[in-house]
Amino acid sequence: MNQLPSKTDILQWIHDNPGQGAKREIARAFGLKGAAKVELKRILAELADEGALEKRRRNYRDVETLPPVSILAILPPDTSGDQFAKPVEWAGADPEPRILFIPRKGDAPVAEGDRILARLTQVTADDHAYEARLIRKIGANPLKILGIFRSNAEGGRIMPIDKGQDKEWRVGPDLTLNARDGELVEAEQAGPKRLGLPTARITARLGDPTGPRAVSLIAIHQHGIPDQFPDAVIAQADAAQPASLDGREDLRGIPLVTIDPSDARDRDDAVHAAPDPNPKNPGGHIVWVAIADVAHYVTPGSALDREARKRGNSTFSPTASCPCCPMFCPVISAACTKASTAPASLSAWFWMPMATRSATVSHVA
């Protein structure tokens, strides 16, 4: 049996390698094989029972550290004007760590009591242990507006595109994004509702309202096709971690060819064909098919699962798309776009012996 690491060694390694807490990764780091991996599983279970580690699915996390993506609550500014935050969930024995919130130019403003999804960096500073960068505010999805911009001396207005709707939005001179008169624009509500016309901030200029992209967006808007995700869905997607190889067969040696065209929105199918060595299938071939294993991330009953069921399917137009899952999340996007490179941690496979006349003899998933 390989020399087992102590509990202290394991805790230190997990602390030094956030995001790499799968049992397989820990075993590889300490060079454990065979029966030693069984003992490692027992030690990890003991550490979890003792409260030293937190197990989430197949990963173990140091309870005394925060994950790289966390939900935070904004605290009031200190006497120096710095904005700090605290974790919404903290299971450590020590006092919760102090987190310095560092806004970037263009970030949405935050105030005391706001909840945010943030990306954390661990630092060694005198008055804080982490620095946080805003991903997005939680529970503050701005209202999305689509309309025609009409400029005037005070900035402009956004006119509705739906027939029968008479609601207009006022756009201040510093919130127009230099939009031109007559352009189709996308905007969001700016500031609280008051008497008079509501205020909007233009976030995207979409050009000629009769252009192909604009027509697609107008159709999506008018038919009520969901093109935004709730905060809980975004939070789960952003917190997703790459899948490990635990319980999977490594088939990356198979030279796959993607069957999605170059202009596809999601490259999630790939194939490989080779002659079938079975003498009962002369002239036949074995066809391998690899598809993105999105089900690894969209777990039953989760926020992602509920939203996908609500949508039913992804909606594509020539110039726009409304996916079932948040494709801008790096991990889930990778699962949907890298099947052609066949990482075993991202793909689900099945193979089919095919007869000479393209009839399927059998298949194995």
The conformation of residue 295, written as its DSSP 8-state character, comes to G
User: What's the domain range around 48?
Assistant: 7-62
229 part of a folded domain: no
Same domain (yes/no): 126, 74: yes
Q: Between 355 and 335, whose confidence is greater?
A: 355
Q: What is the pLDDT of residue 179?
A: 92
237 part of a folded domain: no
123 part of a folded domain: yes
CATH code of 103's domain: 2.40.50
Place of tokens 């992209």: 213
CATH code of 21's domain: 1.10.10
Residue partners of 195: CB distance under 8 A and separation at least 6: none
pLDDT above 60: residue 81: yes
The conformation of residue 207, written as its DSSP 8-state character, comes to E
Q: What is the pLDDT of residue 99?
A: 92
Same domain (yes/no): 177, 89: no
- Answer with the one of 106, 137, 168 that is the final residue of a domain: 137
What secondary structure does DSSP assign to 104-147, as a single string? -TTPPP--TT-EEEEEEEE---SS-SEEEEEEEETT-PPPEEEE
pLDDT in tens, 253-266: 888 887 777 766 66
Same domain (yes/no): 111, 166: no
213 part of a folded domain: yes
- Answer with the one of 46, 62, 78 that is the final residue of a domain: 62
Same domain (yes/no): 334, 296: yes
Q: What is the pLDDT of residue 181?
A: 93
Nearest alpha-carbon partner for 349 in 296, 271, 285, 278: 271
Paired tokens of 241: 């971690």
Q: Write down the pTM of the prediction.
A: 0.45
pLDDT in tens, 30-71: 778 777 777 877 887 777 666 665 555 455 444 567 878 788
Intra-chain end-to-end CA distance of the chain, in Å:
35
44 part of a folded domain: yes
Q: Between 143 and 187, whose confidence is greater?
A: 187
Same domain (yes/no): 346, 268: yes
236 part of a folded domain: no
Percent of the chain clearing pLDDT 70 (strictly above): 74
Same domain (yes/no): 24, 85: no
Same domain (yes/no): 87, 52: no
Long-range contacts of 172-178 (CB under 8 A, 24+ apart): 172/199, 175/199, 175/200, 175/201, 175/202, 176/149, 176/151, 176/202, 177/202, 177/203, 177/204, 177/205, 178/205
What is the number of domains present in the chain? 4
19 part of a folded domain: yes
Same domain (yes/no): 100, 40: no
User: Mean pLDDT throughout 163-168?
Assistant: 70
pLDDT above 80: residue 271: yes
User: Mean pLDDT throughout 241-252?
Assistant: 76
Same domain (yes/no): 261, 348: yes
178 part of a folded domain: yes
- Answer with the one of 89, 112, 137 that is the final residue of a domain: 137
